[in-house]
C-alpha cells in the first residue's frame, strides 16, 4: 500500500525493533520494517520519507556485523540511528567505535547539550534506557555531539545539513520517559513530516487501492469470524459491494457454535453475500495420523485453498482474488523477514499456502497490528462483541490439540475451551485478557473420580496479556477463577481429569502451543 509519508525501519536484530515501528505509527506516520540488507533499489522504490536504523546485538567492528548499503546515506532522506544504528552511522561515515570501558545496560541519565530539533521540549537531564557495550570514540566528519551521559561522552550526534542523527539510547521503550517526544521531534522537526496517518486515513486509502486493483472482478474472502477476517469482510464490502463473496468454511476445528454465529451475524447485520461450507470431514481426514505442527499448518492451508477453488468454480463468476486477514505479526513469525531472524512458525495464511495457488492474494492488513485492525473495525461500525474477541489461530483447534487431531479430541477441547471462556466472562476478566484458551495435551494422567481410578487427558489453560501479540505476559487470573474453571472442566466433561495453568511469557514461549 502506498502512503504519502512513510518511515522505513531497517532491522539489525534488536528485541525492540517492533516497538520502533509501533511508536512511529502512534505518532501519526506509517512505518514498516525491512531487513538490514534490503537492496538500495528496493529502498528507492519504497520512497521512504525517513529511515530509522534499529539497534542490534552485534558490534560494528566485527567481521560479520550486519551492515546496510552505505549509499542509503546519500539518498537525501533523513536518517535516525538508534544504539547499534548510531554506531553504524559512525562506522560507515568515517568515525570510530570501540568497546566501552564500562557497559551501560538499563536506566541512565542523559545530559542534553543542544536543545533544538531532536531534543526540543526535552528536559536538560532526562532518564533514558541504555543497552550497549560499545561507544563512539571519534565523530565522523560533519557531525557534532548533542548529548552525553556519565559513561558515554558522545551519546547523541547530528549532521544538520544532511539530516542524519544518532542516539546511543532507546527512545522507543517506555523506560525512556521522553522517548515519544524525541521520536516525534525526529519525524516533525528533523524530517518535516505532517504526521497524518490514522486508522481513518488507512480505510480511505485501502478502499481506493482495492477498487483500483480489483476492477470488475470478484473477490473471495476467507471469513473465519475472528477479528481480522470480520474487519476485512466489512472493509471489502465497503470497497466493492456485491463483487465480494465471503466463504465461511467449517473445518471442524472452530470454537463452540462459532460457525452458526458467523453466518447469522454477517448475513443479517451486514447483508454480505456469505456462503457456508461444511468441510469438517475433509479437513479431519487429511489431518489423520499427523502430529507435527508445521505439517498440520501446511495441510490446513492447502485444504483451505482446495475448498475455495472448488467453491469459486461453482460461482460461475470472474473470481481472481482471495482476500485474507493476514496481520504483521503473522508475516514476521512465518518468514525469515526481518534482520537476522528465524522462522518461528508457519501461519497457514502466510507460509502455508501452496505455491501453485490460482488466486491473487489481497491482504490489506498485512502491515498492521491487531489493535490497529480493531480500531479500523470500530470505524466501520462493527460491534464490540466481535471487535473485542480474543485472537483465534487460522488452523483453529488443530494447533491447540498437541499430537494427532481427531473429531473426538476436537469435540472435547471445544467444550473445555468454552467452559474456560464462560468463567472468564462470569468473573469480568475476559476484556482485560489479550487471549485465553484451552490446550489438549498428548498425555494422560491417573485420577480418581467416585472412588474409581481414571486415566484420562490433561488440559492446559493459557491466558496472556499483551498489546499487539509480539510480546506477552501470562495473565494473573485469581486462583478462585482458575479453580472454578478447572472444576467445571473435570466434572462436566468425560475425558479430562487434570487441568494445569501455563505461566510462560512470550518470549521465551509463543502464545499458542504449536
SS3 201: helix
Strands 30-35 and 50-53: unpaired
β-bridge mates for residue 361, sequence order? 322
Strand partners, 167: 82, 156
Of 3, 34, 132, 170, the active-site residue reads 170
Whether the upstream peptide bond of residue 254 has omega within 30° of 0, thus cis, is no
Do the beta carbons of residue 143 and residue 157 sit within 8 Å? Answer: yes
- Residue 363 DSSP label: -
Q: What is the largest CA-CA distance in the chain?
A: 83
CA 372 to chain centre: 10
- Number of neighbouring beta carbons within 10 Å of residue 291: 14
Q: Residue 128's beta-bridge partner residues? A: 108
Whether residue 32 lies in the annotated active site: no
The residue with cell 505479526 is 329
Cβ atoms of residues 84 and 60 within 8 Å: yes
In the annotation, is 347 catalytic?
no
Given the residues 83, 155, 246, 459, the one annotated as active site: 83
- Look at residue 387 and give its three-state secondary structure: helix
SS3 331: helix
Q: How many CB atoms lie within 10 A of CB 349?
A: 29
Angle between helices 370-379 and 227-240 (to 10 degrees): 50
- The set of cell numbers assigned to 196 is 497524518
Q: Which of 32, 172, 178, 415 is catalytic?
A: 172
Active site residue 83: yes
Determine the 3-state secondary structure of 372 from DSSP.
helix
- Catalytic residue set: 83, 170, 172
Amino acid at each position: 500500500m502506498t502512503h504519502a509519508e512513510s518511515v522505513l525501519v531497517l532491522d539489525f536484530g534488536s528485541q525492540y525493533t517492533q516497538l520502533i515501528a509501533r511508536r512511529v505509527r502512534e505518532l501519526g506516520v506509517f512505518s514498516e520494517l525491512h531487513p538490514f540488507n534490503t537492496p538500495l533499489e528496493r529502498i528507492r522504490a519504497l520512497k521512504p520519507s525517513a529511515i530509522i536504523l534499529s539497534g542490534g546485538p552485534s558490534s560494528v567492528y566485527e567481521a560479520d556485523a550486519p551492515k546496510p548499503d552505505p549509499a542509503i546515506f546519500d539518498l537525501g532522506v533523513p536518517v535516525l540511528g538508534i544504539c547499534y544504528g548510531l554506531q553504524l552511522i559512525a562506522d560507515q561515515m568515517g568515525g570510530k567505535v570501540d568497546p566501552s570501558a564500562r557497559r551501560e545496560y538499563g536506566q541512565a541519565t542523559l545530559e542534553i547539550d543542544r536543545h533544538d530539533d531532536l531534543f526540543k521540549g526535552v528536559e536538560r537531564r532526562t532518564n533514558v534506557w541504555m543497552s550497549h557495550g560499545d561507544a563512539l570514540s571519534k565523530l565522523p566528519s560533519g557531525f557534532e555531539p548533542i548529548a552525553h551521559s556519565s559513561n558515554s561522552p558522545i551519546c547523541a550526534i547530528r549532521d544538520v545539513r544532511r539530516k542524519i542523527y544518532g542516539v546511543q539510547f532507546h527512545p522507543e521503550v517506555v523506560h525512556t520517559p521522553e522517548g515519544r517526544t524525541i521520536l516525534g521531534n525526529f519525524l516533525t522537526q528533523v524530517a518535516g513530516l505532517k504526521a497524518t496517518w490514522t486508522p481513518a486515513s488507512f480505510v480511505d486509502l485501502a478502499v481506493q487501492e482495492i477498487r483500483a486493483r480489483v476492477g470488475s472482478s470478484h473477490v473471495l474472502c476467507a471469513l473465519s469470524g475472528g477479528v481480522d477476517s470480520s474487519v476485512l469482510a466489512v472493509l471489502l464490502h465497503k470497497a466493492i459491494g456485491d463483487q465480494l463473496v465471503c466463504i465461511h468454511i467449517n473445518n471442524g476445528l472452530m470454537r463452540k457454535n462459532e460457525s452458526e454465529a458467523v453466518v447469522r451475524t454477517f448475513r443479517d447485520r451486514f447483508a454480505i453475500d456469505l456462503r457456508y461450507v461444511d468441510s469438517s470431514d475433509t479437513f479431519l481426514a487429511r489431518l489423520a495420523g499427523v502430529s507435527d505442527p508445521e505439517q498440520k499448518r501446511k495441510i490446513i492451508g492447502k485444504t483451505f485453498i482446495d475448498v475455495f477453488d472448488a467453491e469459486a468454480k461453482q460461482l460461475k463468476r470472474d473470481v481472481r482474488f482471495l482476500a485474507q486477514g493476514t496481520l504483521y505479526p503473522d508475516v514476521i513469525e512465518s518468514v525469515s523477514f526481518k534482520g537476522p531472524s528465524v522462522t518461528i512458525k508457519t501461519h497457514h495464511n502466510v507460509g502455508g499456502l501452496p505455491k501453485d495457488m490460482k488466486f491473487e492474494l489481497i491482504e490489506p492488513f498485512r502491515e498492521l497490528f491487531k489493535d490497529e485492525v480493531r480500531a479500523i473495525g470500530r470505524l466501520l461500525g462493527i460491534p464490540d462483541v466481535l471487535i473485542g474477541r480474543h485472537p483465534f489461530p487460522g488452523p483453529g483447534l488443530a494447533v491447540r490439540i498437541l499430537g494427532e487431531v481427531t473429531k473426538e479430541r476436537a469435540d472435547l477441547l471445544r467444550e473445555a475451551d468454552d467452559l474456560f471462556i464462560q468463567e472468564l466472562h462470569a468473573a469480568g476478566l475476559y476484556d482485560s485478557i489479550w487471549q485465553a484458551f484451552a490446550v489438549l495435551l498428548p498425555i494422560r494422567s491417573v485420577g480418581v473420580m467416585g472412588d474409581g481410578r481414571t486415566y484420562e487427558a490433561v488440559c492446559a489453560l493459557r491466558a496472556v496479556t499483551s498489546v499487539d501479540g509480539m510480546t506477552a505476559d501470562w495473565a494473573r487470573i485469581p486462583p478462585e477463577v482458575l479453580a472454578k474453571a478447572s472444576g467445571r472442566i473435570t466434572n462436566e466433561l468425560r475425558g479430562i481429569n487434570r487441568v494445569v495453568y501455563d505461566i510462560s511469557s512470550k518470549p521465551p514461549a509463543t502464545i499458542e502451543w504449536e
